[in-house]
Structure 1
Amino acid sequence: MDLDAVLLLSFGGPEGPEQVRPFLENVTRGRGVPPARLDAVAQHYRHFGGVSPINAINRALVDALRAELPELPVYFGNRNWDPYIEDTVAQLAADGIRRAAVFATSAWGGYSGCEQYAEDIARARRAVGERAPELVKLRQYFDHPLFVAMFAEAISAAAETLPAGLRDTARLVFTAHSIPVAADERYGPRLYSRQVAHATALVAAAAGYPEYDQVWQSRSGPPQVPWLEPDVEAHLAALAEAGVRAVIVCPIGFLSDNIEVLWDLDHEVRLQAQAAGLAYARASTPNADRRLARLARGLIEELRDGGAPQRLAGPAGLGCGFGVDGAPCGAAHCAVAVAPPVR
């Protein structure tokens, strides 16, 4: 498949205090989120000066992608904030791009991790109209060897920050963003949570941890709606009660140190751990690691040259499009099909 460009597609984030509330309104539009909840989340951003690190991280990743793919121009667009994907796709069209590969900053299947990005692509192409290039969303990569290697290395680095006498007994705890249980069943039995479980097993083995825990974080919504559990805070409380003295938390569900990592884990969970007497270390996410750009290059080469997917073996049925067993999740967006026609 011939390609003219690469589009890095991400979530977006505010870059100043005056942008926080409009950004949150973009994120939650149509979901009936109470204003009081938006006010509370806005304080998380204002704790960091109203600036999310995600755009700066993604700009650095764009630079890394350009270094890895000098033969292709690299563009950057977001769902919820400037640069919006609609504007970026308009720029692709103005530049004469005919077909671009889309690398989304989510390794996972499911709605938020995959299909919503396909919706972003389709919406942007509709906005641009007949001039819009074809946009091909690259496959999920939760089981890619480089994805596993980056997190395994981050765990080892985090362990080194613990007191020397506690490193060997520290409990490794993986965390990913919780979603409603019903959403986890949307594309087949527990697609997202099984992908996360598979990735944690791969990373734990690569980091040398035969025992570990996998939990969830950052849930929202009414309490009567079941979400994936256990929650990281409840789990750490249980570990402290059981006599554990140190933990390493690895946010495997996140590709960058965004606000949900910096606030939820580095602030709230860290304070809770300290109050419970737990030594606490948090593994970094990939951010703009050059290996993430190499991973994206590999996915593009798979698409462009028809090569075999690079992935670590695991149970069947985990994939979407290029699944472990080759079976699609049932959603029409599964890569490597090109984006829907412009209408």
Structure 2
Amino acid sequence: MLPRISVVIPVKPGGEVRALSGIARATYPEELLEVLVAYGRQPSVQRNMAAREARGEILYFLDDDSQVAPDFLERVAQHYQDERVAAVGGPSLTPAGDNALQRAIGIAFASKVGGGGVRNRYRKSGSARFTSDSELILCNLSFRRAIFLAHEGLDERLYPNEENELMDRLQQEGHLLVHDPELAVVRSQRPTYRAYVKQMYGYGRGRGEQTLIAGKMKPVSLAPSLFLIYALLVPFLQSAFFALPLLGYLLVILAASIQGAIDGRAAALFPRLLLVYPTLHLVYGAGVLRGLISPRYRGGQQTHWEVEIQRLNDIKRSTFSVQRSPE
């Protein structure tokens, strides 16, 4: 028997909900599907409030621009037939029509040199499998609603990395997580270099804050920060010997950029990858240090912004009429 599924989409006030066009083509029975659009400025709070109002057994979180396949709900429902499974998700892929910078960012995220252990969040690789939070991403992630609410949902002090903190807790209790490459959504990367820098700094800061909340450090998470400190110290070191690791790093970036341009079949990707890779490592590393040293929640719980939730009962008719929140 198919479960009832509630799709939850957090959106900024006045924001466009492009994900609705794909959801409207979903082949899942309409009577078992509801869509909740949560308007606000604090995504963790928006998702939690929508989860409490949802009527479905499964919560499926998408971002406002996540483009889904028509059968995505059937696929996710299959995985929840196993009662041990608490969360199911898939990767976020970069559209082929994105500009050169966006495509370079997508290539970097999906590579060993850039994405490293989390690269499967950004590429289709292998078949459906049990996994950890390293392969799951909140723009394309579902949870059993009962388990989600029993754990008080997402930690509202965190954004981003709130889903990682929750999934860590679930795994510690023996729940299973599933990554299904065929559940992929398509989402554009940041359109400008400035937006990309802000994104990587935010990702790093969220990881640092999550580390403090969890009380444990994943050594790989600290590697970019250590490399940043090393790179800043190199000019002050007396011996050229200490610059050899930096030279090796630059050669790796050069090779990865060439390979990325070849794989992407566009020479314009090469200079952008030369910029995107170091930015990913260094800015992320700076964000981690900031999160560890000065977490945003130090003074207590963050201010809760007002959240408005719209329930779209007839998604096929509402897709193009409910695009913006009321003034």
- Give the TM interval when normalised to the shorter protein: under 0.3
Using the size of structure 2 for normalisation, the TM-score is 0.26
Counting helix residues as a fraction of each chain, which structure ranks higher?
A: 2
Using the size of structure 1 for normalisation, the TM-score is 0.25
